[in-house]
Structures are given as C-alpha cells and as structure tokens.
Structure 1
C-alpha cells in the first residue's frame, strides 16, 4: 500500500503508464464518455471528490505540460475557472493551458488514455491533461 501520493490503485497505475503526448481527462459527473473509452469512476456524491482536488493529487505525480478546457468554462463557471488557473500555477511543473469548444472537447475523448470521472457538479468543469516528459 502506498504511504503517500495517489492511493487509488487504478489511478496510480494510469499515471504510471502515461507517456509523453498522451492525454488523460478529468471529468465532471455529466460528461458523456464514449463507449470503449477507459474510465475510472471516483464520484461518491455530488461534489465528492471535486475535480480540482483530484487534479491537485494527480499533478503531484504526473508530468503535465499543458491542459485544455472548454472555452465555455470561463463564461459559465468563472470562479471555478479562476481556481483552476490557481491550481495550475501551484503545480510542480510549468503548465500552459488552452481552450477549445465543449463540443471539440467531447469529440477528443475517444483518443484519451482514460477518463477519470469525479463528483464535480460545476458546469463545463472538465480538463484534458497533456502528459509531458520528466527530462
């Protein structure tokens, strides 16, 4: 059993096998996940765990070079968007971010290494993590 870091075995294994340029998606409770796309269900109840809490834990273990969010997030969930940017600034790596439409974000899910569904209930609170390399 891990003493620290990611304690969830599936999540820990996902991070261990992620390679440069692969993507992992952190999703809210409502994001439709395409059939056949690997998923890890973490949601316990509305808001638990929050996506930003899961993101902070993952950023402590995974090299991420960029994140992608839906452009609608800034308009529909501005406080959450600001907290996301704060979380990225506190990450061990320098992480850039970009925005695409929510429809484009959903269309990219089938290419993800996995989707991690959280208990997040904030509108448009989904993040694509673009894995980096540790050298």
Structure 2
C-alpha cells in the first residue's frame, strides 16, 4: 500500500508519466471533458457528486506530488466574482506565474498534445478550471 496523499491508482500512474512541460487540467464540473481534450489525454473522473471532490482539494494534493512551473485560468467576465482564484494562488507554490486566456484560447491550450491529464472534479464554481504546467524536479 502506497503511503501518499493520493491513493487513486490510475491518477498516480498518469502523474508518474508527467515530465517537464506536461500540462494537467484540474477541471470544474462544467468543463466538457471529452470534447475539449486531445484524444491522447487521459481523463480521471473524480466527479462523484457536486463539490465531491472539489478542485481546491485536488490541487492541494497534486502539488504535494509534482512541481508546478506555471498555471493558467480561463479569463472571466469583469462582473463575475471568482472566489476560487485566490484559493488557487494561496495553494500554488509562491512565485508560480498565473496567466489568463480567453475561452477559445484556453480550450486550445487544453487540447494541446502537451496536456496528458484532465482531472474531472465535482467543483461547482464557474471559471474554476486550472491548467498546470509541470516543472522540473528540484
């Protein structure tokens, strides 16, 4: 039995395959996992019910196993209060750059051959998708 903050066998397997510059999407429950992914991207479904598992818990566990070089979020409308953004910034390693892309550009980034993994969460907040770029082992 592995002693780790993550015990999901398929998720551990895909994380072990991630190298420098690989992308991982932590997706909210509104994201179209299949139609907005590359055919070779592996999708791990952790979306059992609304907010089970939520994206913040997934990010918290993922960052204990991989180094994050950069992150990207989909830009949201000016009149939208994105509460998860600050939570992500608090969990990401200090100094991790975060960029923002318009919807279609974000979808194209996720469809990139560099995106090896999509983690489907039950996160019910809108604009909660977070694309991580894996960093080097330090």
Using the size of structure 2 for normalisation, the TM-score is: 0.86
Match of 2:44 in 1: 40
Match of 1:8 in 2: 8
* Greater helix content: 1
Pairwise CA RMSD of aligned residues?
1.8
Unpaired stretches in structure 1, ≥5 consecutive residues: none
Task: State the alpha-carbon separation in 1 of the partners of residues 105 and 74 from structure 2.
Answer: 8
Unpaired stretches in structure 2, ≥5 consecutive residues: none
Residues 75, 62 of structure 1: CA spacing in aligned structure 2 closer, same or farther, 3 A cutoff?
farther
**Over residues 16-70 of structure 1, what are the superposed CA-to-partner deviations in whole Å (9 max), with x where a residue is unaligned?**
1101011011101111133623211001100011101000000000111101011
Answering whether residue 119 of structure 2 is matched by residue 116 of structure 1, we say yes
Task: State the alpha-carbon separation in 2 of the partners of residues 12 and 80 from structure 1.
Answer: 25
Q: Compute the displacement of 1:94 (Å).
A: 4.2
**Matched length:** 132
